[in-house]
Amino acid sequence: MKIVSVILARGGSKGIPNKNIIEINGKPMIGYTIEASMQSIINETWVSTNCKKIKNVSLSFGAKVIDRPENISGDFSKSEDALMHFSDKINFDILVFIQPTSPLLLSSDLDKGINFLIDNIKSYDSVFSAYKDHWIPQWDRKIKPIDWDIYNRPMRQEKDYKYVENGAFYITKRENLKKTKLRYSGNIGIIEMPNYRSFQVDTIDDLKLIGKLL
Q: Does the pLDDT of residue 26 top 90, yes or no?
A: yes
How do residues 131-155 score in pLDDT, each as one tens digit?
999 999 999 999 999 999 999 998 8
Sort residue 176 into left (φ over 0), alpha (ψ -120 to 50) or beta.
alpha
Nearest-10 Cα torsion for 129, 29, 201, 133: 30
How do residues 56-105 score in pLDDT, each as one tens digit?
999 999 999 999 999 999 888 999 999 999 999 999 999 999 999 999 99
Per the CB < 8 A criterion, the answer to whether 190 and 126 are in contact is no
For the chain, the DSSP string reads --EEEEEE--S--SSSTTGGG-EETTEEHHHHHHHHHHTTT-SEEEEEES-HHHHHHHHHTT-EEEEPPGGG-STT--HHHHHHHHHHHS--SEEEEE-TT-TT--HHHHHHHHHHHHHTTTT-SEEEEEEEE-----B-TTS-BSSS-GGGPPPGGGS--EEEEEEEEEEEEHHHHHHH-SSS-SSEEEEE--GGG-----SHHHHHHHHHH-
Of the given ranges (13-17, 112-116, 149-153, 187-191), which has the lowest mean pLDDT? Answer: 13-17
pLDDT of 112: 98
Per-residue confidence band for 214, with pLDDT thresholds at 50, 70 and 90: confident
Mean pLDDT of the chain: 95
Report, as residue numbers or ranges, the catalytic residues. 153
Q: Does the pLDDT of residue 15 top 80, yes or no?
A: no
What domains lie within the chain, and their CATH numbers? 3-128+165-213 (3.90.550.10)
β-partners of residue 46 are: 6, 64
The count of C-alpha atoms lying within 13 angstroms of the C-alpha of 16, restricted to the half-sphere facing its C-beta, is: 17
